[in-house]
A and B are shown apart, each in its own frame.
Chain A
Amino acid sequence: MIPLEWYLALAAVLFSIGAYGILVERNGLKVLMCLEILLNAANINLVAFSRENLMGQEFALFSIAIAACEVAVGLALLIMLFRYMDTIDLETFNILRW
């Protein structure tokens, strides 16, 4: 049996990678990937904690489905961004300030 701490450490590392990526990446697609990594970190936690009952796994199933919907909405927005601005670089956002 793999100890619980290992899973938690893995999830924490994944979460940190995702959070770092969102903060420094400027490419819309990479930001989207980092968001998915964040959600998957939480999924690992949920499944790892799910030892006495199955609620965590149930929760993870729902969150996988939600992550798919989220990626679909995000990609749709990115496609729209590309059509209207010819780039998916998030650095181009400069209209709305203060």
Chain B
Amino acid sequence: MMSGYMEIALITIVGILFPVIAFVASWLLRPSHPNDEKFTIYECGEIALGGDSRKNIGIQFYLFALIFVIFDVEAIFLYPWAVSFGGLGAFAFIEMMIFIGVLVAGYAYAWKIGALEWVGDA
């Protein structure tokens, strides 16, 4: 009973330590030359909204998010497949290739009709 929670505690500790160590290490190792450009907020290539963020955001973001959500969540089928890959044999491999092929076809279609073109701030 307790042993199950021990593992969770271990993951929690590692999860906290990981970013702390990374930040400390980079703070110790990096050279420090701050300028204005570096201090601006990073926002995926867009000009930062700054201040009040409660305003309309370009509809393009939503379209990208849509496409992302679909391809992202379909990946859940890869996990059970990967875990039991050893015992499944060639048939399961072909099946998964077909599954990924279907996703690629959808991706190709989205690309072709221009759903992935960035038209700028709308």
Contacts and interface: CB of A to CB of B under 8 A. Distances in A.
A and B directly contacting (CB within 8 A): yes
B63 A79 contact: yes
Contacts of A76: 66
Contact of A68 (B59, B63, B69, B80): B69
Which range contains the number of A residues in contact with the other chain? 10 to 19
Given A72-B69, A75-B66, A61 B76 contact: yes
Contacts, number: 29
Per DSSP, chain B at the interface is helix
Given A61-B76, A61-B77, A61-B80, A68 B70 contact: yes
B107 to A, nearest CB: 14
B27 interface: no
B70 A72 contact: yes
Nearest to A78: B62
A59 interface: no
A64 B76 contact: yes
Contacts of A64: 73, 76
A12 B69 CA distance: 27
A72 B76 contact: no
B74 interface: yes
Scoring B65, B73, B76 by chain A CB atoms within 10 A of each residue's CB, the highest score goes to B73
Contacts of A83: 59
Contacts of A82: 59
Interface of B: 59, 62-63, 65-66, 69-70, 72-74, 76-77, 80
Contacts of B69: 68, 71-72
Smallest CB-CB A-B distances: 3 pairs: A68-B73, A72-B66, A72-B70
Contacts of A65: 73-74, 76-77
A76 B76 CA distance: 22
A75 B62 contact: yes
Nearest to A67: B73
A9 interface: no
A64 B73 CA distance: 8
A4 interface: no
